[in-house]
Amino acid sequence: MSDPFPALLLGIIEGLTEFLPVSSTGHLLIAQHWLGARSDFFNIVIQAGAILAITLVFRQRLWGLATNLGDRDNRDYVFKLMAAFLVTALVGLPVRLAGWELPETVAPVAWALVLGGIWMLVAEYFAERRGGDGAYVTWTVAIAVGLAQVVAGVFPGTSRSATTIFVAMLLGLSRRPAAAEFAFLVGIPTMFAASGFAFLELWLDEGLGGEAWGDVGLAFAAATATGFVVVRWLMDYIKRHRFTGFAIYRIVLGIALLVWMPAGS
């Protein structure tokens, strides 16, 4: 019987890092360097666990959006969520099919961590200088968030949450909780669709034989449970704190990867 601890730990790492602006790709890259590489199917499934977590966290918000379309403001918000998702799908699918994506190896991920951390510091600085208490999602924000998701997909290590949240803040959605909520809600259909597409590709190309299904199930459950706790904590944390700590952590981690890990890992 295989040791379940590595699978459990990988699921926890996915749940911890998928929605924090620190890059789950970078952390899984490090973890799998020490714990052993896993199949694409395994990585897809544990990401689906994190998606389930955020769906559970926002279940009341999602239900309210779905059942109150008669309200103009509510309907406007739903349409902007749909627009952001469609922009991601219409731009991202051709990009994916063309294979325009950097490899998930140490060097590009590490540089994305460093540059992304600097981007976070600069973006939050300018967003705060704009002043105001912006909580209204404009069409510009919706479209930009959709495009930001494509950028995050092309550059592993960028962090989908960091890219989308800070684009929204720079363009006027200056309240951190409002920006994070919109980014996370757009991420639900986006990541479900991306995971479903990747799963289909994998199934058609390689089949699903040889998987350690116990490990897969354990990691999925761990990612769901951990992701649920992390998102709830983050939404409360950013009401009172800036993202500076996450940005500094990214920069330090990226530099450490460049210095200490083999370039081809």
Q: Express each pLDDT in 231-263 by its tens digit.
A: 999 999 999 999 999 999 999 999 998 888 765
How much is the pLDDT for 173? 87
Tokens of 125: 């600085």
Residues above pLDDT 70, as percent of the chain? 95
In a domain, 42, yes or no: yes
204 has pLDDT over 50: yes
Distance CA 145, CA 88 (A): 8
| Cα–Cα distance for residue pair 160/24, rounded to 1 Å | 9
Residue 100 belongs to domain spanning: 5-260
Instruction: Indicate whether 178 pLDDT > 70.
Output: yes
Q: Is residue 62 part of a domain?
A: yes
Identify the residue with better confidence: 188 or 3.
Answer: 188
Q: Above 80 in pLDDT, residue 109?
A: yes
**Do 153 and 92 touch, CB atoms closer than 8 A?**
yes
Query: Where residue 149 falls among pLDDT bands split at 50, 70, 90?
Result: very high
Q: Which residue has the higher pLDDT, 150 or 174?
A: 150
Q: What is the mean pLDDT of the chain?
A: 88
Residue 97 has what pLDDT? 78
Least confident of 24-33, 94-103, 106-115, 155-164: 94-103
For the cut 70, the answer to whether the pLDDT of residue 1 exceeds it is: no
Condensed to tens digits (0 to 9), the pLDDT of residues 54-102 reads: 999 999 999 999 999 899 999 999 999 999 999 999 998 888 778 777 7
Confidence of residue 131 (pLDDT cuts 50, 70, 90): low
Question: Using an 8 Å Cβ cutoff, are 71 and 80 in contact?
Answer: no
Query: How many separate domains does the chain show?
Result: 1
For residues 163 and 179, what is the distance between their CA atoms, to the nearest angstrom?
Answer: 11
Residue 143's pLDDT is 97
* Residue 265 domain-assigned (yes or no): no
Is residue 57 included in any domain, yes or no? yes
Radius of gyration for the chain, computed over Cα atoms and rounded to the nearest angstrom: 18
Q: Which of residues 174 and 262 earns the better pLDDT score?
A: 174
Q: Given this model, what pLDDT does residue 264 score?
A: 54
Taking phi over 0 as left and psi of -120 to 50 as alpha, with beta for the rest, 3 belongs to beta
**Looking at residue 153, what is its pLDDT?**
85
Higher pLDDT, residue 210 or 63: 63
Q: Which pLDDT value is given to residue 195? A: 81
